[in-house]
Amino acid sequence: MASAASNDLRIPGRAVERSGLLASGLAARLRQLLALACVFTVIFGYSQAWVAPAVGYTLTAASSPIIRYGFFPTYGASVLLFILGDQAALKMLWLNKLLVVLLALAFASTLWSIDPPATMRRALALAFTSLAGVGMVALWRTRPLTLLIASAFVAITIGSFLLGAAVPSMGRMTELFPGAWRGLWIEKNALASQETMAALIFIATGIYYPRARVLWLGLAALALLLVVLSQSKTGLLCAAAGLYGLLICGAFRRGPLAATVMSWASVAGLVAVAALLIASPELLFRLLGKDATLTGRTAIWGAAWRQLAKRPWTGFGYSVLWDHATGWFPGAWIAKDAKFTAGHAHNGWLETWLGLGLWGLVAWTLYFLQVVARSAVSLVRSEACYLVVPYLIVISIRSMTEVSILNHDDFQWVMFIVIACVAGRRDPDNEPVRVSGPAPARPAWSSARP
């Protein structure tokens, strides 16, 4: 498996070799080492697992200027990844034109922003964050890219577990939710979101590389344990939904009959949840460990909507509304109406509308639907669905109560760009799914090539 994985991780060195500055063999090796260094820098940087150890495990430390400057190496690595991606990276951008539109709107919102300098800085950060995902997909096929991301999250997952177990004063929360595990992050929800993502990536890696499946499934179990220890109900819901997404992929990879049964079962489940929500919403809230206000979120949404009604077409500028919670700024009125100060809208769609206006919301909706359509196609086309579909389900659910879309300096957004690009291309090592005839004797994860 080691030799197969190392062969997978090799990247083409045509761009460097054409320069004629170095011998082709040396140029290819240097290019590969540089790409690997950049991708690990991007994963560790945008995962923000370094922030709390660097500035401290307090909520006030989150505003330290060290954090802003600490992202600079990650921005540089993002640009290098895109450059190393060469023509393939440009092709990925062309296939994701709506992403370019969203980035252009983020920059354009500087013209009407309530804080133009901050909007410009964060629009640049969003561009760097997005280019990282494009460059990663341009350089590696789906399976080796999944292996790379999983390898980085091994250190993050083990580090979070050891910190929570051995140093509770750092690895567990002591203020708002005493005892809840937070690992390498300042807050428990961050641990839950990152480890949910890690668990799904570990399982996908085990499917793609069956000789090491036991190892990757063990790591997935550790990541899911951290989600449980975080005491995040949203994290548990997302983890369960992501695991169900893997079952959907397995059913579609097995054959038409299994896919049909799983499709009808999924529809029936959605109808049952909708009926429960209509008939007894209190029971559903109790199952989720929430009250009817979703821990104050409905108050934020109502207050934000009243401010949004004043500037529905343009919004208030990308990612600056919540920085100004005093005086006559919109954020101050939202805090006054909601009776507490929030850090964001706790809904990705509402946050997009507040920042980029109705045009931005429309562009995001179209891009999201495009990715959903591509993901549905991947179910019947390639093994890439094991990476794409579960994470799409997770980020769709999380965006309802948190801000995980169009979020600068966040690996969750990098991963969304990754699945958007992966779902929109054909990998040469992804076998087409059989859509007619008898089903294979074994599910795809029993026969996937190493």
Q: Give the pLDDT band of residue 262 (cuts 50, 70, 90).
A: confident
User: Domain limits at 193?
Assistant: 2-447
Between 326 and 6, residue with greater pLDDT: 326
Range 159-183 average pLDDT: 91
Do residues 74 and 46 make contact, with C-beta atoms less than 8 angstroms apart? Answer: yes
Whole-number Cα distances in Å, 62 to 53, 186, 304: 11, 8, 23
Could you give phi then psi for residue 181, rounded to 5 degrees? -75, 140
Q: Which two tokens stand for residue 336?
A: 């006054």
Amino acid letter, residue 220: A
Res. 1: pLDDT tops 70: no
pLDDT exceeds 60 at position 98:
yes
Q: 143: pLDDT confidence band, cut at 50, 70 and 90?
A: very high
- Token pair for 431: 């076998």
pLDDT at 34: 92
Instruction: Return the pLDDT at 273.
Output: 77
Q: Which residue type is seen at 227?
A: V
At 14 the pLDDT is 44
- Per residue in 331-369, pLDDT (tens digit) is 777 877 777 777 778 889 999 999 999 999 999 999 999
Residue that the structure tokens 């909520």 belong to: 59
- Answer with the residue of higher pLDDT: 35 or 176: 35
* pLDDT bucket at 292, cuts 50 / 70 / 90: low
449 band by pLDDT with thresholds 50, 70 and 90: very low
H or E element in which residue 287 lies: helix 281-288
Q: What's the pLDDT score for residue 428?
A: 56
pLDDT at 89: 93
Q: In this predicted structure, what is the pLDDT of residue 194?
A: 95
Neighbour-count burial for 72-84, b at 16+ CB within 10 Å, e otherwise: eebbebbbbbbeb
| Among the ranges given (48-57, 162-171, 219-228), the one the predictor scored with the smallest mean pLDDT | 48-57
How do residues 378-424 score in pLDDT, each as one tens digit? 988 888 999 999 999 999 999 988 888 999 999 999 999 999 999 98
pLDDT beyond 50 at 448: no
> Regarding predicted confidence, which is higher, 314 or 270?
314
Q: Give mean pLDDT, residues 156-176.
A: 92
Measured distance CA(27)–CA(25) in Å, rounded = 5
pLDDT tier, 444 (very low <50, low <70, confident <90, very high otherwise): very low
Residue 347: predicted pLDDT? 87
**CA–CA distance, 446 with 229 (Å, rounded to integer):** 31
pLDDT at 254: 87
pLDDT at 255: 86
Beta carbons within 8 Å of 135's beta carbon, 6+ residues apart: 38, 78, 80, 81, 82, 83, 84, 85, 89
Residues 19-55: pLDDT tens digits? 333 345 777 788 889 999 999 999 999 999 999 888 8
DSSP-assigned beta bridge partners for residue 172: 181
pLDDT interval class at 272 (50, 70, 90):
confident
CB proximity list for 331: less than 8 A, separation 6 or greater: 321, 322, 323, 324, 325, 341
Question: What whole-number percentage of the chain has pLDDT above 90?
Answer: 57
What is the count of structural domains for the chain?
1
Nearest to 44 by CA among 164, 132, 168: 132
For 8-17, 63-72, 230-239, 338-347, which range has the lowest pLDDT when averaged over its residues? Answer: 8-17
The band of 80, judged by pLDDT with boundaries at 50, 70 and 90, is very high
If DSSP codes are grouped into helix, strand and coil, which group holds residue 242?
A: helix
Write down the pLDDT at residue 17: 37
The overall average pLDDT reported for the chain is 85
pLDDT tens for each residue of 109-128: 999 999 999 999 999 999 99
- Residue 279, classified by CB atoms within 10 Å of its CB into exposed (0-12), middle (13-18) or buried (19+), is exposed
